[in-house]
Structure 1
Amino acid sequence: MTTRRFLLAVSALLVAFTIRAADAPKLPAGYKLLYEQNFTKPDALKDFVFTDPSAWRLAKEKDKPALELHKQSAYKPEHRSPLNIALIADKVFGDFVLEVELLSTKKPYGHQDMCLFFGFTGPAGYYYNHIAVAADPNAHNVFIVNGAPRKNFAKETTKGITWGEREWHKIRAERDTQAGTYKVFFDDFSKPLMLAEDKTFTKGHIGFGSFDDVGMVTSIKIWGPGVETKRAEFFRRAE
């Protein structure tokens, strides 16, 4: 290789590294990338367990491959809680930083929502973050399901957000189990959309979905100090 070609190759690598570093989020010390999914491969569905696998499929929206929740799940939880859930199977997270893109395919209305799930230990024990157009006691909050109907517990929240019609939005969630805190950001990562605090579930599965709407998920990245491999013994896998 000539000196000129060598210098060009090094320059290209430095540019790529600089771009990647610029795109990387600010992370606590010791955090590393633990999981990534862009839904570009046909076997991506194998990463998940679902309340109803038939309600989910691989799709594309605005040139982005995605996991689509295209209909209501045939699922009846024991307690009042979300119906449409897709969990990352066989991986249990404690502290984490999550970045993901979500899109609602539902016509806008007050409870138009998409949800994040975390600390998921089973169908009757988990947290979920309901991100909706309008806030009320049952919408646009952070909830716990713990052997009883969902209960909100966010310390800070907002009046709601705008999902729009088939528009991608960037979401960032941060979980610190020692402090018990959970923060979520919507498009603007400079100020939290919601802040909650609870230590009931310090580790569990992470997932995506909606209480009873439809939408899409893509560009999942999860960072943290470590991840535990543990098979999900609930819900169903895609065939």
Structure 2
Amino acid sequence: MHSDPQSQRRIRSGLFLGLILICGVARADEVVTNFSDGFGPWTPLHTGTWAIQSEEGNPLAALIEPGTQRPPVRRPTAYLFLQGHVWQNVTFTLRAMTLEPDTVTKRDVVLIFGYVDDVHYYYAHISALTDDTFHNIIMKVDGDQRSTIHREILPEARLTGGWHTIRVQHQRRGEIKVYVDDLDNPLMTADDTDYPVGSVAFGSFDDRALFDDVLVSGELVEPDPIEVSFMVVAEEASSMEFFGSAGFTYQIEKSLDLRLWEPVGEPLHGQDVPLTRQLESSTDDVSFFRVFTRFPALSSS
């Protein structure tokens, strides 16, 4: 329990019912997928159509119909998402082939990484066109905004109608490298620390494509669940403070009877710093609050 005067003022109008704050751990792991058992651990976004197809007896993940754009910002419309995994210091490799003809000059495939939620992540856009704006770039999606973050000017457009080996290396300290076919020399690089850990996905911005031989290796981040219970009496205000791990979100919920709970405000994004949420009882009765750790998850809308 904090003992400084500021901390005493912060909790004066409330009562902790329970507090468990345990730091997370990271362990080396890898996920290998060749689609012989369907999509395996990968979950499709609700927009876009996926199927398992066979090429000379080899099963492939096929994006057979691209998805549709959704607000609040333009971003990849269809992808397979690795549910329940949060990575740091990750290497993400796969083989990909666009199904669009040469006449589609902006055809693409994408690798998503540092995924925190539906509007906070990075993606490597591998295209047949390079323009430093939307095609053949490393992009950061940040709420209702997006921005390119790669260093290179007009990196070579290497996407053709054949198979390509694509690799993304993403370090927790912010270093990003993207390779296409030449796995010794990166095609694009960036340095950004906004999403140091997160989940991964692959698909396309708005085209059809095939994927195979997916390998994700790195350190899985596994924070223990945070349980914080707090009681606020009558209409007095207080605040709840807890440590938020990067790559995870935290939802505060409120109840009057410890049975029915409703969310309070938007989820808070962890950045490896303490998080604070003001608490206020809206009735003359006691209000109860709690917080839950949420893994990165697909949007359902």
| TM-score, scaled to structure 2 | 0.62
Q: Distance in 2 between matches of 1:232 and 1:181?
A: 21
Q: CA deviation at 1:186?
A: 0.8
Which residue of the partner structure matches residue 34 of structure 2?
38
Q: Which amino acid in structure 2 is aligned with residue 195 of structure 1? A: T
Give the Cα separation in 2 of the matches to 1:193 and 1:140. Answer: 10
Q: How does 1:60-75 map to 2 (within 5 A)?
A: 60-74=54-68
Among residues 113, 118, 123, which one is paired with 2:113 in the alignment?
118
Gaps of at least 5 residues in structure 2 are 1-25, 224-293
Q: Which has the larger radius of gyration?
A: 2
- Do the aligned residues in 2 keep the contact of 1:131 with 1:160 (CA within 8 Å)? no
Structure showing greater relative contact order (alpha-carbon pairs closer than 8 Å, 6 or more residues apart): 1
Alignment of 1:61-210 (within 5 A): 61-74=55-68, 76-108=70-102, 109-136=104-131, 137-156=133-152, 158-165=154-161, 167-178=162-173, 180-210=174-204
Report the Cα distance in structure 1 between the residues aligned to 2:47 and 2:144, rounded to whole angstroms. 25
SS in structure 2 of the partner of residue 226 of structure 1: strand
TM-score (norm 1): 0.77
Q: What do the CA deviations read for 1:72-121 (whole angstroms, capped 9, x no partner)?
A: 22452421212112211111111111221111101123311100000111
Q: Deviations along 1:8-66, whole A, 9 cap, x unmatched?
A: xxxxxxxxxxxxxxxxxxxxxx9954111110013x25x22322266111112354311
Matching residue of 2:267: none
Matching residue's letter, 2:193: K
| Distance across 1 between alignment mates of 2:58 and 2:71 | 32
1:142 is matched by which residue type in structure 2?
I
Q: Output the CA distance in 1 between the equivalents of 2:141 and 2:48.
A: 24
Aligned residue in 1 for 2:44: 50
Q: Provide the rounded CA distance (Å) in 2 between the counterparts of 1:31 and 1:102.
A: 28
Query: Whose helix proportion is higher, 1 or 2?
Result: 1
What whole-Å deviation, never above 9, does each CA across 1:116-160 have from its counterpart, x for those lacking one?
000111111111110111211111100011112321110125443
Contact preservation (8 Å) 2:47, 2:68: no
AA aligned to 2:110 is: C
1:157–1:89 distance in 2 versus 1, CA, 3 Å: farther
Deviations 1:154-207 (A, max 9, x none): 012544333322x211112111111x1110111111211100110000111100
Distance 1:31 1:98, change over 3 A: farther
Bigger mean CA deviation after superposition, 61-70 or 106-115 = 61-70
- Distance verdict in 2 for CA 1:149–1:60, change over 3 Å: farther
Counterpart selection for 1:211 from 205, 222, 231: 205
Where 1:225 maps in the other structure, the secondary structure is strand
Secondary structure of the residue that 1:143 maps to in structure 2? strand
Q: How much identity, in percent, do the aligned residues show?
A: 24
Contact 1:117–1:128 under 8 Å retained in 2: yes
